[in-house]
Amino acid sequence: MNLAKEISFLLYKHNCVILPSFGAFLINEKNAERSEVAKYSLPKQEVISFNRQIINQDGLVANHLSQLLNISYEAGVQKVEEYISNLWDVLNTKRNVEVAEVGTFYFTQEEKLVFVPYHSVNFSRSSFGLPKLRLKQISITHTTDQTLPVVSEITNPIEIVEPIKLEAPKPQKLKEKKEKRIIASQNKKLKKKIVQTKKSNTTISNLSIINALGSIFLVAMVFALLNFEMTNSTVVPTGNDLASMVDSQNFSTNDLTKPVIKTSKSPVSYGIYAQVKNENAATDLVNDLIGKYHSCQVEINDDSSTEVFIISFSNEEIAKEYKNLIQNKLDQKLVIKQK
């Protein structure tokens, strides 16, 4: 019997659901989140974590099965044990097993159990049904108040004279419209050419400045090398000078060759990154993975390259194993970086 639905149902009411001799599912609260880079907003959430150390029988799942199926408590315990043995059989053969609406377990070659929850499922009853929102920038338009003219009362009667309507010939109006359209199109073309010439001039001026700076730098390097060679060639130590340098007590080569060792006490983690072409591709990938990997985000490196952070582990071997498992599901190249 598959108990995935029963486990998901119990997680809405309880903060801890234990599978005896297997582990426990725990509920963790997470505040509302808003990302300006990926342009989305998430409500308050309650996500799942898994603890392999909690394996004692508390009778929660067995009691729920006995009430649901109208069976005894001992029969409910037996069904829970059968489900756990089925999970281990699938893990030993396929190396992964999915618990619907809860998460996925991965069994590594080092016989370590890794759990990846489904962050798209929100177990918080206060924010139940609230979806993920896309953020769009709103343009503000300013309106001006128009003052109406004051009309004074007419005391004396005025004779109304109907104006004579003179109709212009239609062919002339059509010609005027065509001429206006032609003039407007020519003006647009001229504006585009002016903008293109300005851009080309700015790029040419920037390239000329860079070339001038590069040539000045090369000339300075040549003069520095010549000066260095001349100073080295003018000063030639004698045999007595070399002997005094070797016999001196203050001179020590060990002091020059000692490496400087720096120690750091900060914790080390190994993150899995996806290499993308640009920021648009990065945001699309984040929108696809944010439901399953809640910590997924866009990162821009110092060399202006864009990467997408997916998930991190404290163990490098587990990170490599998980990278190999999800590489087949993604088109982007995955790399592991130490954080």
Per-10-residue mean pLDDT, the chain, length 339: 89 91 89 72 81 91 92 93 94 92 91 88 72 75 64 56 57 76 85 79 74 82 70 43 39 40 61 89 88 86 86 88 86 85
By C-alpha distance, which of 49, 51, 72, 50 is closest to 62?
Answer: 72
Stated length of the chain = 339
CA terminus-to-terminus distance, the chain:
42
Q: What is the pLDDT of residue 241?
A: 40
Instruction: Render 52-63 in DSSP notation, one character per residue.
Output: TT-----SHHHH
Q: What is the pLDDT of residue 106?
A: 95
Output phi, psi for 79, to 5 deg: -65, -35
Q: What is the pLDDT of residue 126?
A: 64
Q: How many Cα atoms within 13 Å fall on the side-chain side of residue 283?
A: 10
Neighbours of 171 (CB within 10 A): 8
Token readout for 216 is 């000045």
Output phi, psi for 287, to 5 deg: -65, -30
Please give the DSSP secondary-structure letter assigned to residue 312: E
By C-alpha distance, which of 11, 190, 207, 225 is closest to 118?
Answer: 11
Assign 272 to helix, strand or coil. strand
Q: Report angle CA 76, 78, 84 to the nearest 5 degrees.
A: 105
Please give the DSSP secondary-structure letter assigned to residue 110: T
Token readout for 221 is 């390097």
Q: What is the pLDDT of residue 78?
A: 94
By C-alpha distance, which of 339, 337, 305, 300 is closest to 37?
Answer: 300
- Domain layout of the chain by residue ranges: 4-134, 186-215, 270-338
Please give the DSSP secondary-structure letter assigned to residue 39: T
Q: What is the pLDDT of residue 60?
A: 93
111-128 core/surface letters (b: 16 or more CB in 10 A; e: else)? eeebbbbbbebbbbeeee
Identify whether the C-beta of residue 67 lies closer than 8 Å to the C-beta of residue 81.
no
Instruction: Render 179-218 in DSSP notation, one character per residue.
Output: HHHHHHHHHHHHHHHHHHHHHHHHHHHHHHHHHHHHHHHH
Q: What is the pLDDT of residue 229?
A: 56
Q: What is the pLDDT of residue 259?
A: 44
Across the chain, where does the E strand assignment appear? 16-19, 23-30, 33-35, 40-42, 45-51, 96-99, 103-107, 113-117, 133-134, 270-275, 297-300, 306-313, 333-338
Select from 2.60.40, 1.20.58, 3.30.70, 2.30.30 the CATH code of 270-338: 3.30.70
Token readout for 30 is 């997470």
Assign 234 to helix, strand or coil. helix
Whole-prediction pTM: 0.39
β-bridge pairing 270-275 and 96-99: unpaired
Q: How many Cα atoms within 13 Å fall on the side-chain side of residue 95?
A: 8
Q: What is the pLDDT of residue 125?
A: 67
Assign 242 to helix, strand or coil. helix
Query: Residue 129 to residues 87, 116, 132, 212, 293: CA-CA distances in angstroms?
Result: 30, 23, 10, 63, 20
> Which residues have CB under 8 Å from 59's CB, separation 6+?
73, 77
